[in-house]
Each structure stands twice: as structure tokens, then as C-alpha cells.
Amino acid sequence: MGMTGVLKLYFCESNLPTPDYIKRAAAEAMSEGYTFYTENAGLFPLRCELARYYRTLHGVELDPESEIVVTASGVQALNVAIRTVLDPGDEALVLTPAWPNGSSIVTMASARPVEIPHPLKGDRYEIDFGALEQALSPRTRLLIYTSPSNPLGWVATESEQQRLLDFCRQHDLWLLADEVYDRLYYETATLGTPVPSILRKARRDDAVMVAQSFSKTYCMTGWRLGWLIARADLARKATQLNEFIISHAASFAQKAGEIALRQGEGELVAMLRRLKENRDFCLEALRRMPGVTVPKPDGAFYLFPKIEGLSDSFDFCRRLLIETRVGLAPGVAFGAGGEGSVRLCYAADKSVLEPAVERLGSFLRHG
């Protein structure tokens, strides 16, 4: 981390600062007195704004009083969701490669993550429903999936969502969908259209939870603001748990989040245009490199190239860093199915991406 001159493509964030209108909203909220504690479920107007957001974007009706919990980040939404449904000794099925925090939180709850890799079929990752079925045990309580995926960029199809939901209904499992990248979606006629939320398919009494965040959509990683949607009984428990972990997200950040939801569409679309261009540039460059296979990702801002013959992605990334000053994340960090690949975040500027892929290409040819 202390090395200078590194082209950093290993982080999970864009290099764009938070838009000014959001910063101004936070400053105004502070001067208006939003410096006190709020409800553990978050400020009610923000929950109402989230309900409006789901109505507008997904045609889903949510009760802001009982089904929405504001959290201090997406990872906090995952934390309260997982801890609320798992007892020590329980098991959670986790679709991987995935951002490792889901599995880690399961372990921290003294439960066991059972990782089920997404198989690559042709140019697309899929879900191995046979492996899910085989991994079931009397202690299985939860299934976690991430769509759009970090690190794959994979997006669940509607029929995959339906099968996941049916699988969980049939086996009496909670289904936790990590949808924090839902707005970063490129395979749509109009940029800005979200990936359809699992909530469009779920009934109100389904054991379904959605973890969400302001971090990626609004470039608010450092603000620590997210939300959890859940069935009312679980949302109530998650709200109680919030009290003992952090109580609630910062009050002025919540006010700024409300404005982001209301006014953010224009800046979001501009960012998506740039991200899509970056994706296509990096994808094309990677596909020209020897021994590299990389499916086209539909969402998020990552590419996850598989490198022929690679068996130690950590060592590969270390050598790449030392010899070329290009920072990538080793695939092994993302759990089962991750080894043999590396993750590249293409949310940086072209001025960083161009030399980085150039150096990676020559490292692969000569390194």
C-alpha cells in the first residue's frame, strides 16, 4: 500500500469524488441541525424516499415503516442480515467467486459458509443448481448471491432469479441478494435502467432480504451509508441489532442520501457512459493478450480474466506489482472458483487504464 507510482486497479471504487450536490446536501443538513441521534431504522423521510425509489424503478411497493432499514453501509446491511438469520453451527450457501465479506460475516456468526462456484459455460457464468442441491444439510439456513457480481460482473437472469427463489422456498432457506451494483448495468437499451431486483419476484411473505448501498451508485464509499430490505419480522430484528452495533448511520449522511436518491439520475448516467466505455476498452485489450479468457461482464465495474496455467494468483499479482507497478486483486481472494483469475477494476481514468493494460500485456508476454 505504501508503494509509490502504482496504477491501482485493485480497489472496489471509482476514482470520481462524491458529486457536489450530495456534499452540499450534507453540509446543509448539518447546519439545519442533523447532528443528533436518529431512529435505529434510519430517518423516516429517507425510508419513504427509498420506498419511492423502488416504486419508480422496480414497480415494487414497500412499507417504509416495517420493511426498510437504513444501515451504515452495504457491508453493515450484510452484517445485520446474516447475523439475524444464522445461529452458531448453521450453514450458508454462498455463490462464489464473490466479495469475501459475505463468507467472513457468516464465519463471524460462528456459522459455516459453503461456497458454490459459478461454472463458466462458454461466455457466461451460470449457477450450478445441482451443486446447490447437493450442498444442502439439515443446518442450511441461508443462500447468498451477488448480482451484479463482484468480481465477475455476472448478472443473474430473471429465470436464474426465479430458480433461486424457488430453491429457497422449497428448502425453507433465507435468500440474501447483494444488489449493491444494481445500477451499474450496461446491457440495457437505456443506461440507468437497473438490473431487475429480486424483490420484483418475491412475495411479501417470502424469506428474502436485499443488501444495498449508496457507495457505488453515488460515489459515496467513504460515507458509509446503505440499506436493507427484508420481510417485516426480520427487518424488526435487524433494526434491534443495529442498535448494538452502530445504532444508525450518521444523521447528515442520511439526509444527503435522501437527496442522492431524488436527484442522482443525471450524474449516474454520465458515470455509466464512462464506465461502459472503460469496460469495452479493457475487455478488448485483455482479449488480445495471450492465454487470457474473459467473459463480457454485464454489470458492476470489474473484469475477471482467467489466465491460462495460473495456479497462484497472489504470487502473480505480487510480481506484477513489483515489476510493473500495476495493482490487481488476486482471484484467490474471492473464494471457491477464484484461483487462476485476477480482478481488474475499470472505474479508473483512461489515463490510468491505458498504461495499466499495456504493462499487463507485456508482463504476460515476457513475464
Ligand X SMILES: Cc1ncc(COP(=O)(O)O)c(C=O)c1O
Interacting residues toward ligand X by CB under 6 A:
12, 73-75, 99, 146, 150, 178, 180, 213, 215, 221, 226
- Locate 42 and state its grid cell: 434510519
Q: Is 275 exposed, middle or buried (0-12, 13-18, 19+ CB in 10 A)?
A: buried
With respect to ligand X, which residue has the nearer C-beta, 289 or 304? Answer: 304
Closer residue to ligand X (CB): 79 or 324: 79
Q: Strands (DSSP E) along 205-357, which ranges?
A: 208-213, 226-230, 292-293, 302-303, 306-307, 326-327, 329-330, 342-345
**What whole-number distance in Å separates Cα of residue 104 and Cα of residue 264?**
32
Return the beta strands (E) in 10-157 as ranges.
Answer: 68-71, 91-96, 112-117, 120-121, 124-125, 140-146
CB 90 within 8 A of CB 112: yes
Nearer to ligand X, 12 or 283 (CB): 12
CB nearer to ligand X: give 289 or 329. 329
CB of 215 to ligand X, least distance (A): 3
Q: How far apart are the first and last CA of the chain?
A: 22
Name the residue whose CB lies closest to ligand X. Answer: 74
Q: How far is CA 354 from the centre of its chain?
A: 25
Q: How far is the CB of 170 from ligand X (least distance, A)?
A: 26
Closer to ligand X at the Cβ: 91 or 179?
179
Beta carbon of residue 134, minimum distance to ligand X (angstroms, whole number): 25
Least separation in angstroms between residue 36's CB and ligand X is: 23
Residues in the chain: 367
CB of 212 to ligand X, least distance (A): 8
Whether residue 164 contacts residue 127, with contact meaning beta carbons closer than 8 Å, is answered with: yes
Nearer to ligand X by Cβ, of 140 and 217: the residue is 217
Is the N-terminal amide bond of 305 cis, ω within 30° of 0?
no
* Strand duo 306-307 + 120-121: pairing: unpaired
Instruction: Choose between 226 and 330: whose C-beta lies nearer to ligand X.
Output: 226
Q: How far is the CB of 14 from ligand X (least distance, A)?
A: 11
Output the smallest distance, CB 178 to ligand X, in A.
5
Q: Of 169, 228, 235, give the one whose Cα is nearest residue 203.
A: 169
Which three cell numbers mark 26? 450534507
